[in-house]
Amino acid sequence: KEYNVAILGATGAVGTRMIQQLEQSTIPVKNVKLLASAKSAGKQLSFKGQPVTVEETTPASFDGVDIVLSSAGGSVSKKFLPEAVKRGAVCVDNTSAFRMEPDVPLVVPEVNEEALKDHHGIVANPNCSTIQMVVALEPIRQAFGLNQIIVSTYQAASGAGQSALNELRQESQDYLDGKDMKADAKILPTKGDKKHYPLAFNLLPQIDVFEDDGYSHEEWKMIHETKKIMLNDMNAKDIKVTATCVRVPVPIAHGESIYFTVDDPTVTVDQLRAVLKDAPGVVLQDDPAHQVYPQPINAVGKRDTFVGRLRADEETPGAFNMWVVADNLLKGAAWNTVENAERLVANGLI
Ligand code: A2P
């Protein structure tokens, strides 16, 4: 069977990568529709060398579509994905719109592929920072059990979309030209809040809006999505998770400093390395003697999650630090979405 695929948000930072990842995927594609807002209608993009004209998204856009890959923002997903499902499509959604719905699987194939079978037309892709963290931690959890996760993120500008990436470029240019960049920020830290600050030559400890308890919504997502993916319960108590999320002036690829404790206090760093070396989707880059460790510039364009800087907390048995990097637009978004669609197809779930 061949599939009609629609990409919703095809002109965005993630959408353009969804096109590339779909070109390279195992999914037999009959026809591809590239959907965006009215602003982009008529724009020419291409799929496998053939020109494709971008169309404005309407409910009728999903007539005859088998698979929807979407990354056009939560409100756009909320509006259009139920229309697509009504028309018989299966949607893999990269936005946060449906992630916490009880009947929507939240899936990272390396961790909980089996959850795909419970879909009712929508599968959610987790947040980019959550994805790379669970890819690195799930093999450790499987081997040794996991008690607690304390994560601090170093997140790239592109996680906030193409416009944030453009804003970082412009601010960097302005700064180097000796101009005042403070006046111009319009996007970061988040479109959803009132004030905006420059990211160039700066750090912003705000990703998404704040909750009443002082955590940012990005931090909330890392905590509750991790529990839903690993334990199938967004409020599970079996693993304690806490997070600090920071935007850094890097264009693409998120870094994460992760402190974690395992159930077995006798576990060694060598045992962790042995597990991670063979873990699906993980590339171990951990050789301090030769200054080998994951870096964003080396992760750009790769589907893998890179892990290094593994160290035992000498004062706490069973506690460790590690450093994890992945391309937030690929494993954190476009690739995980296409990978979920590949597994749906391979498992006969579409
Ligand atoms: P457009 O380029 O026409 O605005 P990013 O995450 O990089 O900001 O990209 C967001 C994507 O979502 C773009 O492809 C954008 O299309 C698309 N988009 C934004 N609003 C809508 C909408 N109302 N309907 C369909 N697509 C939308």
Phi/psi of residue 53, each to 5°?
-90, 130
Confidence bin at 182 (pLDDT 50/70/90): confident
Sequence-ordered list of residues with C-beta below 8 angstroms from that of 183, at least 6 positions apart, any chain: none
CA distance 191 to 145: 38
Of the residues 128, 217, 224, 245, only one is catalytic, namely 128
CA distance 275 to 53: 46
Task: Please report the pLDDT score of residue 180 as a whole number.
Answer: 83
254 in active site: yes
Closest Cα to residue 65, out of 88, 37, 95, 92?
88
ipTM over 0.90: yes
Whether 328 is in the pocket of ligand 1, judged by its Cβ within 6 Å, is no
Task: Please report the pLDDT score of residue 295 as a whole number.
Answer: 99
Report the nearest atom of ligand 1 relative to the CA of 163: 8
Task: Please report the pLDDT score of residue 65 as a whole number.
Answer: 98
Q: What spacing in Å lies between the alpha carbon of 79 and ligand 1's midpoint?
A: 13
Domain 130-328 bears CATH identifier 3.40.640.10: no
Report the nearest atom of ligand 1 relative to the CA of 43: 3
Whether 13 is in the pocket of ligand 1, judged by its Cβ within 6 Å, is yes
Closest Cα to residue 96, out of 186, 180, 217?
217
Cβ atoms of 137 and 249 within 8 Å: the answer is no
For a ligand 1 pocket test, name from 76, 81, 94, 329 the mutation site with the most ligand atoms within 8 angstroms of its C-beta.
76
DSSP state of 204: B
Q: Kindly state the average pLDDT of the residues 43-49.
A: 98
For a ligand 1 pocket test, name from 7, 8, 37 the mutation site with the most ligand atoms within 8 angstroms of its C-beta.
37
Cβ atoms of 219 and 189 within 8 Å: the answer is no
Confidence bin at 183 (pLDDT 50/70/90): confident
158 three-state secondary structure: helix
Condensed to tens digits (0 to 9), the pLDDT of residues 251-291 reads 999 999 999 999 999 999 999 999 999 999 999 999 999 99
Domain ranges of the chain: 3-125+333-346, 130-328
130-328 shares the fold of 3-125+333-346? no
Cβ atoms of 276 and 282 within 8 Å: the answer is yes
Confidence bin at 181 (pLDDT 50/70/90): confident
Confidence bin at 184 (pLDDT 50/70/90): confident
196 in active site: no
Q: What spacing in Å lies between the alpha carbon of 110 and ligand 1's midpoint?
A: 29
Q: What spacing in Å lies between the alpha carbon of 9 and ligand 1's midpoint?
A: 5
Report the run of H or E that residue 47 belongs to, with start and end: strand 44-47
Sequence-ordered list of residues with C-beta below 8 angstroms from that of 142, at least 6 positions apart, any chain: none
Task: Please report the pLDDT score of residue 346 as a whole number.
Answer: 98
Architecture of the domain delimited by 3-125+333-346: 3-Layer(aba) Sandwich (3.40)
CA distance 175 to 257: 28
Whether 159 is in the pocket of ligand 1, judged by its Cβ within 6 Å, is no
Condensed to tens digits (0 to 9), the pLDDT of residues 147-161 reads 999 999 999 999 999
Q: Kindly state the average pLDDT of the residues 182-196.
A: 92
Kindly report the protein residue whose alpha carbon is nearest to atom 4 of ligand 1: 37
Mean pLDDT of the chain: 97
Sequence-ordered list of residues with C-beta below 8 angstroms from that of 98, at least 6 positions apart, any chain: 77, 78, 81, 104, 122, 124
Task: Please report the pLDDT score of residue 215 as a whole number.
Answer: 98
Residue type, 175: Y
Tokens of 148: 């607690």
Q: Kindly state the average pLDDT of the residues 325-342.
A: 98
Task: Please report the pLDDT score of residue 109 as a whole number.
Answer: 98
